[in-house]
Amino acid sequence: MASMGVKATATLNGKLFYLVGDGEFIEASDYHFVESAEPGILRTYDKSLQPVDAFGQPLGKTLSPNTAWKYSRTVKIDGASYYQVASDEFVPVDDALGFTPVAKPTDLKVTKKTTIYNSLGESTEKTLAKGSAWRTDGCALINGVKMYRVSTDGWISAASVEAY
């Protein structure tokens, strides 16, 4: 799916069309607006996730829970935001977590007793002791809080650790 810009619009037989090239029109309902051309990495939550095609139709396969996927851009399909994970495979932004990996695993020291959360920001009711050491492979913003991943689906607040 190449990036195209809309150069003009036209209504034919009550349907909206976009002019996207030299004499090339595409029906507006088939056009997916690129929200961001920035690539990145997403992590699925703790359940399987079914990607869709460019028309929002399920593809009949799933992405495994708690796995990382590269995406090339973020687009709108039928008004909803999606990560593009393959040429015609899209994952709803609301069903995954934007993830920032670290260049190499980083050691963290817990500076105060801290709660472990899952990728949805829900408490696991488990804690890490002050002074304990953990390794992270990256971070994410979860409910507006920077969190480091310390296990498959275990996240701790950046405010409660220091790198060493």
Tell me how many domains the chain contains.
3
pLDDT at position 2 is: 45
For the stretch 24-44, pLDDT in tens is: 887 776 666 788 889 999 999
pLDDT at position 34 is: 83
CATH code for position 57 = 2.30.30
Distance CA 41, CA 68 (A): 7
For the stretch 34-88, pLDDT in tens is: 888 899 999 999 999 999 988 789 999 999 999 999 999 999 888 899 999 998 8
pLDDT at position 3 is: 46
Residues 11 and 38 reside in one and the same domain? no
Within 10 angstroms of residue 152's Cβ, the number of other Cβ atoms is 12
Domain that holds residue 69: 32-98
- The backbone torsions φ and ψ at residue 42, rounded to the nearest 5 degrees and listed phi first, read -120, 160
Structure tokens at 59: 């593809």
Q: Which residues contact 17 (CB under 8 A, 6 or more apart)?
A: 9, 10, 11, 25, 26, 27, 28
Answer with the one of 59, 77, 98 that is the final residue of a domain.
98
Residue 98, strand partner residues: 42
Distance CA 55, CA 142 (A): 29
Q: How confident is the model at residue 117 (pLDDT cuts 50, 70, 90)?
A: very high
Residues 156 and 115 reside in one and the same domain? yes
Q: How confident is the model at residue 6 (pLDDT cuts 50, 70, 90)?
A: low
Answer with the one of 43, 75, 98 that is the final residue of a domain.
98
